Structure formats: C-alpha cells, structure tokens
Amino acid sequence: MIEGGVDILQLRAKNYAPPQIMSLAADLHRITSAAGIPLVINDYPEIARTVGAEGAHVGQDDLSTAEAREIAGGNCFVGKSTHSLEQAKRAADEGADYLGFGPLFATPTKPDYVPIGLADIRAVHAAVTVPIFCIGGIKLENLREVISAGAERAVIVSGLLQAADVAEYARAAKVLLNQNCKI
C-alpha cells in the first residue's frame, strides 16, 4: 500500500486481542514511520500512545473524542466514525480532527450497518470544516461515483486487500482522487 502511494494507513483489527494489536501496531508503525505515512490505530487510543502512532480512531459507541485524545496524548490526532449528517456535526463539534463518513455501500468490514448512500456527502462537507473520509464499500469500480457525489477523500479497504497488485490498485485510486478532488 505504501509503495502504491497511500497517504494514511489505519490499523483496524476487530478480531484481535489487544496484545496482538499492540505487537502488530508496533511493527506496522516502524514501517509507516520510515515511509513518512501517518498510522492511525482504531479503537485503542492507549495503543496509539504506546507505539507513538500519529492518530487514533473511535466509533460512535466508543470513547468520546476528548477521552480518546486524553488517552492517546496531545500529539495524536483523533478521528470519529459517523453514519449520518447529524452525527458528523456532533463529532466535529466535539473536536474530532477528521470524520469517517459512511458506510456509503454495503461492506464486509461493517456487515451490521445499513449503507447510508451518497446523498449526504455534499451536505456533510458544507456542514463541517474538518476533513471527511468517505468510507464503506468503496472500490475503484465505484470511486468515480463517490467523487461525483462530492467526496474529497475516500477510504478503500477490501478493494486494496483483495487486489492482485495492491500497489497498482492504490496508485490507480490515488490518480482518480488527485484528478477529481481537492486534497
């Protein structure tokens, strides 16, 4: 992924125990640090702090942004998952440094979430000033549609992980985003 030019990498290891995540995060952070790519740790701001990760990410049912920031430390940025325009406004108001907005489409990483679609992408960009990363079921096949709906940033998970050539897939996604979005 780094070879393909990803701008940021998030470690989301829902089926791993915290000690396993800690070990994986430490190994991954050595790689991302050497490449100058920020690493975000999902769900565990204490692990972000311990390994020196640049970011921590929490969901709607997790800690507040302020609690996550206190645990992660002052140098760590904190993002929050949001699934509606109202949640996005609240997360921005509570001090999130960035928002995950979605899932836009059905996704295996969030099988229990109903997709929110593309309709509110422009509205959420108009309502908040923090960076918004559109998430959920985004792949190269639908990235143009997501961008056309107003997305400025996008998160791709399964498309990258299942690609025959991960680096090339990442490069292709980045080209689309750079041509069509203000970064």
Question: Residue 2: inside a domain, yes or no?
Answer: no
pTM: 0.93
- Fill in the amino acid letter for 93: D
| Pairwise CA distance, residues 156 & 61, whole Å | 22
Assess contact for 97 and 130: CB atoms under 8 A.
Answer: yes
Please spell the DSSP secondary structure of 39-74, one letter per residue. EEEES-HHHHHHHT-SEEEE-TTS--HHHHHHHH-T
Task: Classify residue 171: in a domain, yes or no.
Answer: yes
**What is the structure's pLDDT at 182?**
56
**CATH classification of the domain holding 120:** 3.20.20.70
pLDDT value of position 113? 80
In a domain, 93, yes or no: yes
Q: Judge whether 167 lies within some domain.
A: yes
Cβ proximity of 59 and 81 under 8 Å: yes
- Which 3 state secondary structure label does DSSP give 96? coil
pLDDT in tens, the chain (183 residues): 999 999 999 999 989 999 999 999 999 999 999 999 999 999 999 999 999 999 999 999 999 999 999 999 989 999 999 999 999 999 999 999 999 999 999 887 777 888 999 999 999 999 999 999 999 999 999 999 999 999 999 999 999 999 999 999 999 999 999 886 654
**What pLDDT score was predicted for residue 183?**
45
* Phi, psi angle pair for 132, to nearest 5°: -120, 125
Is position 161 within any domain?
yes
Domain containing 92 equals: 9-180
CA dist 122 and 72 (Å) reads: 31
**pLDDT tens-place string over residues 84-114:** 999 999 999 999 999 999 999 988 777 788 8
Total count of domains within the chain: 1
In a domain? residue 3: no
The whole-angstrom separation of Cα 132 and Cα 151 is 8
